[in-house]
Copies of this chain bind each other. A is one copy, B any other.
Amino acid sequence: MTGPAPAWITPGDPDGPDFSVCALVQSQDRHERLVASFSRRGFSPETTEHLAADNRNGNRFDGYSWQRALLTRARGRYVIFCHDDIELIDQGQDDLLARLDDLTALDPGWSLAGIAGGRFRPKAHTRPMLSFHISDIYGQDRRRGAMPARVETLDECFIVMRRSRPVLPSLDLSGFHFYGPDLCLQAELQGGSAWAVDFHLRHHGRGTKGPSFADCRARFVAKYARIFPGRTLHCTTGMVTFPADGADEAGPSP
């Protein structure tokens, strides 16, 4: 007796569409603006599928749980995880594909590509060194740093993942903050890398941190102080230091 025929898999088997655009959606209006801007800028139904994590009627997903749920459904070669309040303006699909091709030539093993992050310097340091190109409430067409730049943190507004090399968020963190830096550190622990690339878009977000920010930050620090004692991270939301003794940041000095 023999069983059913298996599906034989070889390396580099073809993928689905080029892009899965995954958004964490609280506002359908904002998301419709996002989808329309992608359509205007060359992301066609032939190359792009749109997936929406449905938080329209309350937070059924948080920042650490939605990528996992959408990744099991996404078929794209590149999976974009973004806020619902971004809008493409002067750059589009051809620009993004060109930036990602450039990045692949530079670092074939890249795992994550965002548009704003803190430079990769896995030691203690104090001088902020961010890289970004963005239009947001702080100004139009703002630039800082050279790109592409290898980073150790990424802003959550726009992060591209390769479906062939996925990175999953921490299971022991929750909330709506620090999940971009968490993804970068998980990529690093896996042996992969994260980069900021020059892909200009508008982020309509207000940038408010909210009352849960301090709590998310404390749990993020408590987790990673055990793994990276003494390291400093520069996030787009500010600096974070993991105490050298691995203890909680607010605890006593050694």
By a beta-carbon cutoff of 8 Å, the part of chain A in contact with chain B is 1-11, 13, 15, 23, 31-32, 35-36, 38-40, 45, 49-54, 60-61, 65, 68-73, 109, 111, 163-173, 186, 189-192, 223, 227
Contacts and interface: CB of A to CB of B under 8 A. Distances in A.
A39 B4 contact: yes
B163 A191 contact: no
22 contacts: A1-B40, A2-B35, A2-B36, A3-B32, A3-B35, A3-B36, A4-B50, A5-B50, A6-B35, A6-B51, A7-B73, A9-B54, A11-B60, A11-B61, A11-B69, A68-B164, A72-B164, A109-B171, A168-B190, A171-B190, A172-B190, A186-B189
Q: Is the interface of A mostly helix, strand, loop or mixed?
A: loop
A7 B45 contact: no
Contacts of A72: 15, 163-164
B54 A10 contact: yes
Given A7-B50, A13-B73, 18 more contacts: A1-B39, A2-B39, A4-B45, A5-B50, A6-B31, A6-B35, A9-B52, A10-B54, A11-B60, A11-B61, A15-B72, A68-B165, A166-B166, A170-B190, A172-B191, A172-B192, A191-B223, A227-B227
